[in-house]
């Protein structure tokens, strides 16, 4: 799939922008703080209604304005859809082909994006929460039911935490009610794990080979980590281990007023030859490991969805040495829309520049290079 048109109204430093994009390579070039990342961010928000950067959606609206709008035309071999995200201080609205869609979870399954950017290092250096957010967004793009079950899980979790607090403060409570919540929580966890396990199994099976080809080092792998002592992620195992954890730690959970075990505490880690990359790897190795993770994701998206996601590359080449830049470009699939930013065309592999359409970004305006 590819985005053929993008329109921005009062989004970040763009007042009123209309752009046509090529289905191949699009290169946005410009000095610092001109609006390059803002373009990629707008495309990401058009797909997922959330920014990949920290902060609230309010910061996306141009200073001094009440509403910001992103819209675009998304094409693939079979269809063409017009997508629109309207952001306002009171919330966001989404529509497709002029029809409002009330559930965001229904909307976000339309447009697939994978972003490579400077914040990616947080996938190794950041908090488990950062990694969980990332994993949830990615898996939601791949498997339509995931986000539905995740939302349900989170609602039950919230009720359960409230009830644990209530049990801590009140003498007469209903243990059967907690049991019912436990059962519901476990039911959703089984489904959430089915998708998480599938996602990580694919990535783990391929990432080592890609890293070895691009970086020349052996022994990269990633691991999904859970606090239920799961090994095989099979339904029976999840049910019995999760249920035992909740039973055995009930007193502690009531005292703390929170659910201490379950998929909401999952994490994933990168290892190089058995060593945690968070602690032992150089910044360059960390960066390359994440790039390889995303390259494998492209393959997974294609396998599951039978379409290529749109790739958003935010200034990633400047951090890499020439050899790795070239290796990376060789690894990018050819039948995919790539939207890349840079401050200097020299940072981008020549082959990409030759094939690409170059657009110049200057103070919230975009012009085609003459």
Ligand X SMILES: Nc1ncnc2c1ncn2[C@@H]1O[C@H](COP(=O)(O)OP(=O)(O)OP(=O)(O)O)[C@@H](O)[C@H]1O
Task: Looking at residues 307 to 326 of the shown chain, list those that interact with ligand X (rule: CB under 6 A).
Answer: 315
Name beta bridge partners: 67. Answer: 88
Q: Which of residues 37 and 347 has its CB atom nearest to Mg ion in the complex?
A: 37
Task: Looking at residues 329 to 348 of the shown chain, list those that interact with ligand X (rule: CB under 6 A).
Answer: 343
Which one of Mg ion, ligand X, none interacts with residue 297, CB within 5 to 8 A by kind?
none
* Residues in CB range of 70: below 8 A, 6 or more apart: 6, 7, 8, 9, 11, 42, 45, 46, 84, 85, 87
Q: Which of residues 101 and 360 has its CB atom nearest to ligand X in the complex?
A: 360
DSSP state of 33: T
| Residue 32 lies near ligand X (rule: CB under 6 A) | yes
Number of residues that bind Mg ion (CB under 5 A): 2
Q: Which of residues 36 and 112 has its CB atom nearest to ligand X in the complex?
A: 36
Q: Which of residues 43 and 277 has its CB atom nearest to Mg ion in the complex?
A: 43
C-alpha to C-alpha distance for 64 and 155, rounded to whole angstroms: 35
Binder of ligand X out of 17, 21, 25, 37 (CB under 6 A): 37
What DSSP letter does each residue of 252-281 carry, written as one string? HHHHHTS--SSGGG-EEEEEETTEEHHHHS
The distance of closest approach from Cβ of residue 274 to ligand X in the complex, given in angstroms and rounded to an integer, is: 36
Listed in sequence order, the DSSP H helices in the chain are 36-48, 104-107, 122-125, 128-142, 144-169, 175-215, 235-248, 250-256, 277-280, 283-305, 322-331, 350-355
End-to-end CA distance of the chain: 28
C-alpha to C-alpha distance for 283 and 286, rounded to whole angstroms: 5
| Residue 33 lies near ligand X (rule: CB under 6 A) | yes
| Residue 71 lies near Mg ion (rule: CB under 5 A) | no
Q: Which of residues 308 and 310 has its CB atom nearest to ligand X in the complex?
A: 310
| Residue 56 lies near ligand X (rule: CB under 6 A) | no
The distance of closest approach from Cβ of residue 12 to ligand X in the complex, given in angstroms and rounded to an integer, is: 4
Are 214 and 292 in contact by the 8 Å Cβ rule? The answer is: yes
Q: For residue 227, give the 3-state DSSP assignment.
A: coil
* Residues in CB range of 347: below 8 A, 6 or more apart: 317, 318, 325
Q: Return the H-helix or E-strand segment holding 28.
A: strand 25-29
The distance of closest approach from Cβ of residue 350 to ligand X in the complex, given in angstroms and rounded to an integer, is: 21
| Residue 245 lies near ligand X (rule: CB under 6 A) | no
CA 143 to mean position of chain CA atoms:
13
The distance of closest approach from Cβ of residue 63 to ligand X in the complex, given in angstroms and rounded to an integer, is: 4
Binder of Mg ion out of 37, 49, 286, 347 (CB under 5 A): 37
Q: In whole angstroms, how far apart are CA 251 and each of 150, 172, 176, 265?
A: 26, 15, 15, 19
C-alpha to C-alpha distance for 284 and 121, rounded to whole angstroms: 10
Binder of ligand X out of 4, 5, 13, 121 (CB under 6 A): 13
Choose the binding region for ligand X from 32-40, 199-207, 266-274, 300-308 (rule: CB under 6 A).
32-40
Task: Looking at residues 57 to 76 of the shown chain, list those that interact with ligand X (rule: CB under 6 A).
Answer: 59, 61-63
| Residue 140 lies near ligand X (rule: CB under 6 A) | no
Which one of Mg ion, ligand X, none interacts with residue 63, CB within 5 to 8 A by kind?
ligand X
| Residue 9 lies near ligand X (rule: CB under 6 A) | no
The distance of closest approach from Cβ of residue 11 to ligand X in the complex, given in angstroms and rounded to an integer, is: 8
Binder of ligand X out of 7, 9, 36, 245 (CB under 6 A): 36
Q: Which of residues 76 and 319 has its CB atom nearest to ligand X in the complex?
A: 319
Q: Which residues bind Mg ion (CB under 5 A)?
A: 36-37
Q: Which residues bind ligand X (CB under 6 A)?
A: 12-13, 30, 32-38, 59, 61-63, 315, 343
């Amino acid at each position: 799939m590819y985005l053929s048109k993008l329109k921005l109204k009062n989004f970040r430093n763009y007042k009123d922008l209309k752009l046509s994009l090529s289905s191949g390579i699009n290169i946005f070039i410009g000095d610092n703080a001109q609006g390059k990342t803002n373009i990629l961010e707008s495309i990401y928000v058009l797909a997922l209604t959330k920014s990949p950067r920290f902060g609230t959606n309010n910061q996306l609206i141009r200073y001094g304005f009440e509403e910001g709008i992103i819209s675009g035309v998304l094409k693939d071999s079979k269809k063409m859809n017009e997508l629109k995200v309207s952001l306002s201080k009171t919330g966001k609205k989404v529509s497709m082909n002029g029809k409002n869609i009330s559930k965001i979870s229904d909307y976000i399954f339309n447009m697939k994006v994978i972003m490579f950017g400077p914040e990616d290092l947080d996938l190794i250096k950041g908090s488990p929460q950062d990694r969980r957010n990332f994993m949830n967004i990615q898996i939601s793009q791949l498997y339509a039911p995931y986000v539905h079950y995740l939302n349900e899980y989170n609602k039950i979790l919230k009720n359960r935490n409230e009830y644990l607090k209530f049990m801590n403060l009140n003498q007469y409570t209903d243990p059967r009610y907690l049991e019912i919540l436990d059962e519901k929580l476990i039911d959703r966890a089984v489904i959430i794990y089915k998708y998480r396990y599938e996602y990580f199994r694919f990535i783990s099976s391929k990432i080592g080979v890609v890293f070895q080809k691009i970086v020349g080092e052996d022994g990269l792998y990633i691991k999904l980590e859970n606090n239920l002592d799961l090994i095989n992620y099979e339904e029976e195992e999840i049910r019995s281990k999760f249920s035992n954890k909740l039973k055995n730690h009930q007193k502690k959970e009531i005292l703390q007023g929170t659910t201490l075990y379950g998929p909401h505490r999952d994490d994933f880690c990168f290892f190089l030859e058995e060593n945690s990359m968070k602690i032992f790897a150089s910044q360059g190795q960390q960066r390359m490991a994440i790039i390889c993770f995303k390259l494998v994701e492209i393959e997974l998206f294609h396998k599951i969805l039978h379409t290529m996601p749109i790739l958003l590359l935010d200034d990633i080449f400047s951090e890499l040495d020439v050899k790795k830049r070239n290796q990376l470009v060789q690894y990018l699939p050819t039948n995919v829309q790539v939207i890349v930013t840079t401050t200097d065309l020299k940072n981008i592999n020549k082959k990409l520049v030759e094939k690409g359409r170059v657009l110049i970004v200057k103070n919230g305006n975009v012009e085609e290079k003459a």
